[in-house]
Amino acid sequence: MVKVVVCGAAGGIGQPLSLLLKQSDLISHLALYDIVNAAGVAADLSHINTVSKVTGHVGKDSLAEALRGAHTVVIPAGVPRRPGMTRDDLFKVNAGIVRDLAQACAENCPKAFILVISNPVNSTVPIVCEVLKKANVFDPRRVFGVTTLDVVRSSTFVSQVKPQFEPHSNRVTVVGGHSGATIVPLLSQIKQLSFTPEEIKALTHRIQFGGDEVVKAKDGAGSATLSMAAAGARFTIALLEASVRGKRGIVESTYVHLAGNPGAEWNLRSTGLEYFAQDVELGPDGVANVLALPNLSAEEQSLVKTAIGELKGNIAKGINFIKEGSGPASKL
């Protein structure tokens, strides 16, 4: 039995993400949780003729039932950006939402993989980990910040500049975190291509601020949902392929707690950070190996340095939210 729970399943990301997960024969039970409308989304998806059973769970009183027995919990719950906002501006509302969902995971499915989409990812992942640590159920191999959209954008944007780069089958490593300057695509690792310094600069900027393109185009109606659903489904299925099917050698960039994760010592020492996104090999228990940062170009070294500076504050903010007590979730 592989039960996957989507928390925030009625939202802009939650609905298409659930639709994509409904296509997978790796999932036997898809449980859709939201504070609104999850029953309707579940009824609709349940008519699709694939193997998984779909159940809908609406409101806080049904959260425990939704989570019980979960193999994997994907969290796209919370508010998205509007033009003029940073991801950090979402902290005020989303921190409390993510904390409460993490607490419910600790109580109902302490061994589940937890995939965090809600922004600001740089801070919400530390929130989840701190909640699990407090509950004595933390396993660093099982909590992931979903940064796959940065990887997806990198493949697409590189292919638009270099048509010989096939976007579907070529992956780009993206390290750091998931907001602006903390997003560092390692274009120097694409060994089959060469770029001019101007191309590197323009591509890096576009990847770092790709989210803003969508926020601007949607003009107040939210941020990336469909591309995020595709990215979220890609990461979830990759993790299921590794953990359920036992497929080896699956590597994705993702934001993880470094200490205690296999292979992470080098990145822990070289960044001095508790959390960092890097290529991770996935396995039966989640993180099988955090790959060491490769040799970086001079520009990438400087970008990573800037990212580290910003990440320090983002991480501390998430940790302090739990350590110093945070009160009930607030409204924006």
Ligand X SMILES: O=C([O-])CC(=O)C(=O)O
Ligand Y SMILES: NC(=O)C1=CN([C@@H]2O[C@H](COP(=O)(O)OP(=O)(O)OC[C@H]3O[C@@H](n4cnc5c(N)ncnc54)[C@H](O)[C@@H]3O)[C@@H](O)[C@H]2O)C=CC1
Question: Residues annotated in the binding site for substrate, as ranges?
Answer: 81, 87, 119, 153
Identify residues 165-194 at the interface with ligand X (CB under 6 A). Answer: none
CB of 118 to ligand Y, least distance (A): 4
Half-sphere exposure of 188 (CA within 13 A, CB side): 13
Q: Is 178 a catalytic residue?
A: yes
Q: Of 152, 172, 176, which is closest to residue 228 (Cα–Cα)? A: 152
Give the count of beta carbons closer than 10 Å to the beta carbon of residue 94: 25
The residues with which 57 forms a beta bridge, in sequence order, are 33
Would strands 53-58 and 29-34 be described as parallel, antiparallel, or unpaired? parallel
Give the count of beta carbons closer than 10 Å to the beta carbon of residue 75: 26
Q: Which does 8 bind (CB under 5 to 8 A by kind): ligand X, ligand Y, none?
A: ligand Y
Return d(Cα 123, Cα 24) in angstroms, integer. Answer: 30
Q: Which does 243 bind (CB under 5 to 8 A by kind): ligand X, ligand Y, none?
A: none
Which residue has the closest beta carbon to ligand X?
211
The verdict on 176 binding ligand Y (CB under 6 A) reads no
User: Which one, 201 or 216, has the nearer CB to ligand X?
Assistant: 216
The verdict on 183 binding ligand Y (CB under 6 A) reads no
Q: Which does 10 bind (CB under 5 to 8 A by kind): ligand X, ligand Y, none?
A: ligand Y
Q: Which does 11 bind (CB under 5 to 8 A by kind): ligand Y, ligand X, none?
A: ligand Y
The verdict on 153 binding ligand Y (CB under 6 A) reads no
User: Which one, 8 or 140, has the nearer CB to ligand Y?
Assistant: 8
Set 57, 71, 178, 257: catalytic member? 178
Beta carbons of 235 and 144 less than 8 angstroms apart:
yes
The verdict on 140 binding ligand Y (CB under 6 A) reads no
Cα torsion through 296, 236, 224, 198, rounded to 10? 20
The verdict on 80 binding ligand Y (CB under 6 A) reads yes
Return d(Cα 177, Cα 218) in angstroms, integer. Answer: 24
If you write DSSP's letter for every residue of 65-117 in order, what string do you get? HHHTT-SEEEE--SPPP-TT--GGGGHHHHHHHHHHHHHHHHHH-TTSEEEE-
Give the count of beta carbons closer than 10 Å to the beta carbon of residue 55: 20
The verdict on 214 binding ligand X (CB under 6 A) reads yes
- Scanning 25-33, 104-112, 162-170, 207-215 for contacts with ligand X by CB under 6 A, the matching segment is 207-215
Catalytic residues: 178
What residue ranges bind ligand Y (CB under 6 A)?
7-8, 10-14, 33-36, 76-81, 90, 94, 97, 101, 117-119, 121, 146, 149, 178, 222-225, 228
What residue ranges bind ligand X (CB under 6 A)?
80-81, 87, 119, 149, 211, 214-215, 223-224
